[in-house]
Structure 1
Amino acid sequence: MTDPLSRRPATVADVPVVHRLIAACEESLHGEVTTSADRVAVELGEPGSEAVVVLGPEGEAAGWGWVRGRRATVDVHPRYRGRGLGGSLLSWAEARATGDRLAQSVPHSDLAAIALLESRGYAPLVTEWLLEIATDVEPEVPAPAAGVTVRAFRDGDERAAYQVIEDAFDEWQQRRMPYEEWVRHTVGRETFVAGASPVAFAGEEMVGAVLSTDGAEGRIQRVAVRRDQRGRGIARLLLLEAFRAFHRQGRRACTLWTHSDTGALALYERVGMTVRRSSTVYSKVLTVTR
């Protein structure tokens, strides 16, 4: 006999229960938890998004789904897998997607999720990598190029950092984030660490930025250099500055995510990062008329 399940919309009040679910999934798949509660809060509070949580008999989350535009997330607690819950939540997400396709990222180790998506007509779109570097030894940071200065992020840098980062990301992302949304995803997060978020200037103009959040490890969230300043070692310099800052804060490793559309994997490997694990974004064209 299976436990009875109930389903209801999820809100920001559900951050703790949803985060526990995600943590259980990550622990089961990877032996570690990398998603922070404040990231879940950002997603649940995202304007234009919808979310649902499936609850077990004791109020624990058995699964959840989230959708906004073309992006979706579906997670099922390890204890509740094999009951068709993943397929049900995927159908829920497809019915609420507002774009002409839907995409979801799936770890390469989650064979059941991959099989489900492929059975529903999803195909690989891009590869994502979680990169890591040990920071148990303080890294050496080279001097900046002539005319370039580097310092830690501080109040008042938000607009300039937004411009640099979104201009750089426009080269591959499908949608430019509005400023307020960008703040929620970056410098407005509870775990944002200004001291480990170096920014670079050429004269008075910001030309590069690395934005980081904290956890058990340092987490690099954004890396960008203005197009006309590339090839001067600025990205490498900013990354090493961030690694050094996290080392001095007692963090013994740093991580970041990148994907195949950015073309940045080689840069991160040159500063000593290696792939810890990978995932694939699966995408499906939606044919249902809305």
Structure 2
Amino acid sequence: MAPHLVLPEPFTARPATTADVPAVHALVGAVERELLGRTETGADGIEASLTRPGLDAAVDSLVVHAPDGQLTAWAWINRGRRAQIDVAPAFRGHGIGSALLDWTEARAAEVGTDWLAQNVDDKDRAGTELLRSRGYEVLAKNWQLEMPVAEVSVELPEGFTVRPFQPDEARAAYQLIEDAFDEWQPRRKSYEEWARLSIERASFAPALSPVAFAGGELVGAALCLDLPDPDDGYVEQVAVRKDQRGRGLARALLAIAARGFRAQGKHNLTLWTHSDTGALAMYERLGMSVRRSTTVYRGRVRAAG
């Protein structure tokens, strides 16, 4: 069962449902506009978070409302390990974020984990200070990289063929990407979870997602999303099979994706990379530069009871 939540008066909370997605999306958009000056998260990303396998929204999520019904905050925790908390800018300073952090830690303890991680934008000083005050330490860094699409030219290495993603390639793409990510990620996603967070999203753009073949085998992919920002084309996942790396295929896949987004009027190609991948220098060699960063903080969780 979900742990008890102690909110400051007069706020109330309940589990989130998919009916809350539009309101949560508006809240997250307000947070992003304050921090970044633009909205990056799509409504389908909110829905994917709430419906991903392994997360039971009835006990692993909350929405917080003011007496007039206005949504003031939301939170979720996945498998007792990863959590996310967003508080509307107009409602900061009321103790809502602290209460939700208590709740996520209690939920993590309830499912038997001994640590909890949260990702915070480096411009979010309040969120950073809150986690630091609780003894959370830096676990990893994430960087959002960008590249102007006007400067990209396509040079496909010899021996490869590239075309847009097709639905019947989903399982092969999953295998390719999770094999590549196994080199650094702590837990391999199931196909169902991977699909829910990527190719099943409404913003997934198969026509803009190049996949590469060598000898009839899928060896590279750049899966792309068409997100709200009118200027940016977004690469959700990019991977090249280990035995095919170092031949320029990643560069070609990103260039082809950039060309597709440029045809749609986008100005930049963006993607995220994680410090554990060691890929930041590679992307910088490909002509990308860091736009912004986030930090993953990890804290110890006391056993329940």
TM-score bin (small chain): over 0.9
Residue 68 of structure 1: aligned partner: 78
Match of 1:214 among 226, 229, 251: 226
> Residue type matched to 1:82 in 2?
G
Counterpart pick for 1:223 among 238, 248, 256:
238
CA deviations over 1:234-280 (Å, ceiling 9, x no partner): 11110111011110121112211111101111122122211111110
Q: Which residue of 2 aligns with 1:114?
A: 128
Q: Which residue of 1 aligns with 2:172?
A: 160
Q: Find 1:130's aligned residue among 144, 147, 153.
A: 144
Q: Name the CA distance, whole Å, in 2 between partners of 1:94 and 1:169.
A: 27
SS in 1 for 2:13: strand
State the secondary structure of the residue aligned to 2:266: coil
Q: 1:47 aligns with which of 30, 53, 75?
A: 53
Aligned twin of 1:12? 18
Distance in 1, Cα, partners of 2:30 & 2:74: 13
In structure 2, give the amino acid aligned to 1:274: S
Could you tell me which residue of structure 2 aligns to residue 56 of structure 1?
66
Q: TM-score, normalised by structure 1?
A: 0.95
Match of 1:77 among 85, 88, 97: 88
Number of residue pairs aligned between Structure 1 and Structure 2: 287
The Cα RMSD (Å) is 1.5
- Partner residue in 2 for 1:95: 106
Taking the aligned partners of 2:202 and 2:145, their CA distance within structure 1 comes to 23
Match of residue 152 from structure 2: 139
Cα distance between partner residues in 2 of 1:177 and 1:269: 28
Partner deviation per Cα, 1:104-140 (whole Å, 9 max, x = no partner): 01111111111110111100011111111222x2621
Moved beyond 4 Å, runs of 4+:
none
Which residue of the partner structure matches residue 276 of structure 2?
261
The SS at the match of 1:267 is helix
Residue 146 of structure 1 deviates from its aligned partner by 2.5
For the residues of structure 2 that align with 1:205 and 1:127, how far apart are their CA atoms? 33
5+ long unaligned stretches in structure 1 = none
The CA distance in 2 between the partners of 1:21 and 1:276, in whole Å, is 23
Q: Which residue of 1 aligns with 2:5?
A: none
- Output the CA distance in 2 between the equivalents of 1:60 and 1:219: 31
Confirm whether residue 183 of structure 1 aligns to residue 183 of structure 2. no
For 1:275, give the aligned amino acid.
V
Inter-partner Cα distance in structure 1 for 2:161 and 2:211: 8
Q: Contact 1:62 / 1:80 at 8 angstroms: preserved in 2? A: yes
Q: State the TM-score, normalized to the length of structure 2.
A: 0.91
Question: Identity, % of aligned pairs?
Answer: 52
Q: Within the alignment, does 1:150 sit opposite 2:172 as a pair?
A: no
Gaps of 5+ in 2: 1-7
Correspondence for 2:4: none
Mapped to 2, the partners of 1:255 and 1:57 lie a distance apart of 39
Q: How far apart are residue 8 of structure 1 and its match? A: 0.7
Whole-Å Cα distance in 1 between the matches of residues 269 and 158 of structure 2? 28
